[in-house]
A and B are shown apart, each in its own frame.
Chain A
């Protein structure tokens, strides 16, 4: 019974190995098929096979074996890394990943996909009848001996120098023999040299004879000599009569001459020499390159890290409480205290960053997976696409890496399916026939930005508009800005494909992508230039537990608005405000009009300041209505806040994403800008509706 945790660890390791495998294959495709790269690829497959065997994952082992055999041929330079081979190897890498997934989900392998690749691999190995090394350890005895339990065996062995040189010890063998039956042991010392100076510590001078009684058969004896039967002139004979006839004299020549030849010729003549040389001379040169793959890591239970993160969150809050207390205490000019406080802040910040870094992971494995997605999508659509990844070392929270996989997959598929044109269309447009898709990650001022940039046709806005009207998402007389039209892609139930392809269709749209990213506290924006391509930018907070917030007040309440959503803050002047209808006001920002949303009104209360010009407007970037200006009473501060979820206690509260504790110990609610800006100000009911009710309101 295998421990589930070990199996989990195996799959985790498979992930790493598959990344290394893909990396190596990619290097090879880029013409870097040097020995070390091929070796690394080989090792990855080999390790998966080895470990999979421990869990009896037969499909995985079988496939990995075939894969590995081809790689071994490549490694031995019996195959050349030509385009055809590389293509098959990449395919094999994909299948291997599939098989790992299938094994993890305890699903059977998809033979329809696996078998053709096995067949393709086989073409590089020549004839089907590959001599499988069936190495039988214990041959079953088919002799019809009556099952006697009191058989006697005589074991004679004379350990030679190799016996001692390979870490074996005759006394341990004797001890083992004594455990299986009653032993009578004698030692012949005839071969001992006369003079002490003639002794060699590696020589075997002693001949041991052991008679063992009460045995069923000689299997147990052979078992004990399992590793040394070729190193000690072993003889095992059954003693049939009680007389104990004299032993045949052991081979007096001894094995020494033979071994000497072995040593003299071994290095020059044998194939394995390569490896011997390999391990010593080249290993130093390789160390640098290989070490990045085997950097030693510490595995920690994520729960412990979470506890630590929580504690650090409290520390940050505590630090702001202390700062505030000290400020309020109006202490006499105590420069030292303030200096100490600054140190404390710095340390707290440092600890916080350190703790966050524990959870941080490079996006590399995630990006590597996308290479495959892109390849498959390109194959399925008959397009030619190069996926270029950049900034793979960028680190983000582990959860973010995990939860980004699906949205990214979807977006990559979308970009290839809808963005990049077919080769002939590209040729006609004067573009290279191979499209380029760039997947980049970078850290920009406290956020992680992931971009998917294609050089395709760009969004077809008239078509998007048409579809949105057809699907009832907008009315035909609605006036929408370009950006608003682009954002329709994220509207639930929108799909630009005329026929839903099985590639990016799947009945879900970009709205799922948006939801997933919003759930991570991030946002997606689109930037498209017709004919030149489209860029999807995902902006994510560096960490999930702490965020930069703007402390504001509205109707006497202190609240927090995530800085990530705020483009700028504006003190409005009368001239920039214009009325629209009875209740709506627009703000003019650099020639564009954006709707003003009264936060107090949205929360079902009234602002303490009646005039808009007395208030502050936060220009927000949201997914729902492009931009809007959120009117608040005052802004106070900008600081890091520790996000505490309220869902556990209060359920989902519409418009509020969580709460935080401020320096003065008071609790402030954190506004969800997207939700707040999306609701229509129709009723002044309870302060917060539940999300369900709200969904009902908007869809009705």
Chain B
């Protein structure tokens, strides 16, 4: 079964890049433009993994993770935080919110794909 990724980012460019990279790698991709839409789509999407930006309008990435972790749907889904910052502080916040891991923008296509494969068990 195709691995399904939900990518949440308010930047159209990043969404496009993610979609291109992930679809190339054979994943199915759904995108959302902010945290609120992201959580809503997550609840219907049956995603195998979520990638979320941190800084977004309406609901930030940490809010998204908290909603997922405290929700009723697939709460143990792996969630990757996509961020420009790489500080330890941010890592800690992501961790506290329940993030599985983090990817620093600009991301490297190959390592992103390998991380996703590892976290979802996709071949």
A283 and B64 alpha carbons, distance in the complex (Å) = 12
- A459-497 near B? 1/0 per residue, CB < 8 Å: 000000000000000000000000000000000000000
Shortest CB distance B114–A (Å): 8
Say whether B33 faces chain A, with CB atoms less than 8 Å apart.
yes
| Given A165-B98, A166-B100, A279-B59: A50 in contact with B105 (beta carbons within 8 A) | yes
Task: Tell which of B60, B84, B88 touches A278, judged by Cβ atoms closer than 8 Å.
Answer: B60
Find out whether the CB atom of B96 lies under 8 angstroms from the CB atom of A3: no
**A70-105 CB contacts (< 8 Å) to partner B:** none
Closest-by-CB residue of A relative to B121 is A172
Which residues from chain A contact B97 at a C-beta distance below 8 Å?
Answer: 276
Which residues from chain B contact A135 at a C-beta distance below 8 Å?
Answer: 86-88, 104
- B89-101 near A? 1/0 per residue, CB < 8 Å: 1001101111111
Of A238-246, A285-293, A370-378, A632-640, the stretch lying at the interface with chain B is A285-293
Closest-by-CB residue of B relative to A201 is B76
Say whether A43 faces chain B, with CB atoms less than 8 Å apart.
yes
**A1-20 CB contacts (< 8 Å) to partner B:** 3, 6, 9-10, 12-13, 16
Closest-by-CB residue of A relative to B87 is A133
- A276-309 near B? 1/0 per residue, CB < 8 Å: 1011100100110011011010000000000000
Shortest CB distance A60–B (Å): 12
Task: Give the interface size class of chain B.
Answer: 35 or more
Say whether A168 faces chain B, with CB atoms less than 8 Å apart.
yes
Closest-by-CB residue of B relative to A287 is B58
Find out whether the CB atom of B63 lies under 8 angstroms from the CB atom of A279: yes
A293 and B58 alpha carbons, distance in the complex (Å) = 10
Say whether B55 faces chain A, with CB atoms less than 8 Å apart.
yes
**A248-267 CB contacts (< 8 Å) to partner B:** 262, 266
A257 and B20 alpha carbons, distance in the complex (Å) = 44
Say whether B2 faces chain A, with CB atoms less than 8 Å apart.
no
Say whether A592 faces chain B, with CB atoms less than 8 Å apart.
no
Say whether A46 faces chain B, with CB atoms less than 8 Å apart.
yes
Which residues from chain B contact A276 at a C-beta distance below 8 Å?
Answer: 62-63, 66, 97
Which residues from chain A contact B14 at a C-beta distance below 8 Å?
Answer: 47, 50-51, 54
Which residues from chain B contact A270 at a C-beta distance below 8 Å?
Answer: 93, 96
Find out whether the CB atom of B33 lies under 8 angstroms from the CB atom of A296: yes
Say whether A224 faces chain B, with CB atoms less than 8 Å apart.
yes
| Given A43-B57, A50-B11, A166-B95: A6 in contact with B20 (beta carbons within 8 A) | yes
Find out whether the CB atom of A275 lies under 8 angstroms from the CB atom of B35: no
User: What is the size, in residues, of chain A's interface with B at 8 Å between Cβ atoms?
Assistant: 57
Which residues from chain A contact B92 at a C-beta distance below 8 Å?
Answer: 272
Task: Tell which of B36, B56, B76, B115 touches A164, judged by Cβ atoms closer than 8 Å.
Answer: B76
Find out whether the CB atom of B12 lies under 8 angstroms from the CB atom of A279: no
Find out whether the CB atom of A294 lies under 8 angstroms from the CB atom of B10: yes
| Given A51-B14, A294-B34: A272 in contact with B96 (beta carbons within 8 A) | yes
| Given A133-B85, A275-B93, A287-B36: A43 in contact with B10 (beta carbons within 8 A) | yes
Task: Tell which of B12, B99, B102 touches A13, judged by Cβ atoms closer than 8 Å.
Answer: B12
A286 and B60 alpha carbons, distance in the complex (Å) = 12
Closest-by-CB residue of B relative to A55 is B106
**B95-123 CB contacts (< 8 Å) to partner A:** 95-102, 104-107, 115, 118-121
Which residues from chain A contact B95 at a C-beta distance below 8 Å?
Answer: 162, 166, 230
Task: Tell which of B35, B98, B107, B118 touches A176, judged by Cβ atoms closer than 8 Å.
Answer: B118
**A151-185 CB contacts (< 8 Å) to partner B:** 162, 164-169, 171-173, 175-176
Say whether A40 faces chain B, with CB atoms less than 8 Å apart.
yes
A133 and B97 alpha carbons, distance in the complex (Å) = 21
Which residues from chain A contact B13 at a C-beta distance below 8 Å?
Answer: 6, 9-10, 13, 51, 54
Closest-by-CB residue of A relative to B102 is A227
Say whether A557 faces chain B, with CB atoms less than 8 Å apart.
no
Say whether B17 faces chain A, with CB atoms less than 8 Å apart.
yes
Find out whether the CB atom of A226 lies under 8 angstroms from the CB atom of B101: yes
Task: Tell which of B55, B58, B84 touches A290, judged by Cβ atoms closer than 8 Å.
Answer: B58
Say whether A432 faces chain B, with CB atoms less than 8 Å apart.
no
Find out whether the CB atom of A49 lies under 8 angstroms from the CB atom of B84: yes
Shortest CB distance B107–A (Å): 8
Which residues from chain B contact A272 at a C-beta distance below 8 Å?
Answer: 62, 89, 92-93, 96
Find out whether the CB atom of B11 lies under 8 angstroms from the CB atom of A51: yes
Shortest CB distance A72–B (Å): 10
**B1-41 CB contacts (< 8 Å) to partner A:** 10-14, 16-17, 20, 33-37
Say whether A354 faces chain B, with CB atoms less than 8 Å apart.
no
Shortest CB distance A123–B (Å): 23
Shortest CB distance A231–B (Å): 8
Find out whether the CB atom of B63 lies under 8 angstroms from the CB atom of A280: yes
| Given A166-B95, A283-B35: A13 in contact with B101 (beta carbons within 8 A) | no
Say whether A53 faces chain B, with CB atoms less than 8 Å apart.
yes
Interface centre among A9, A176, A227 (most CB of B within 10 A): A227
Which residues from chain A contact B84 at a C-beta distance below 8 Å?
Answer: 46, 49-50, 53
A423 and B121 alpha carbons, distance in the complex (Å) = 71
Shortest CB distance B16–A (Å): 5
Find out whether the CB atom of A167 lies under 8 angstroms from the CB atom of B17: no
Shortest CB distance A480–B (Å): 53
Closest-by-CB residue of B relative to A14 is B13
CB-based closest 6 A-B pairs: A279-B63, A227-B101, A135-B86, A51-B13, A167-B78, A10-B13
15 A-B pairs with CB atoms under 8 Å apart are A13-B12, A13-B13, A43-B10, A43-B57, A50-B14, A56-B106, A133-B85, A173-B118, A226-B101, A227-B101, A272-B96, A283-B35, A286-B57, A291-B57, A296-B33
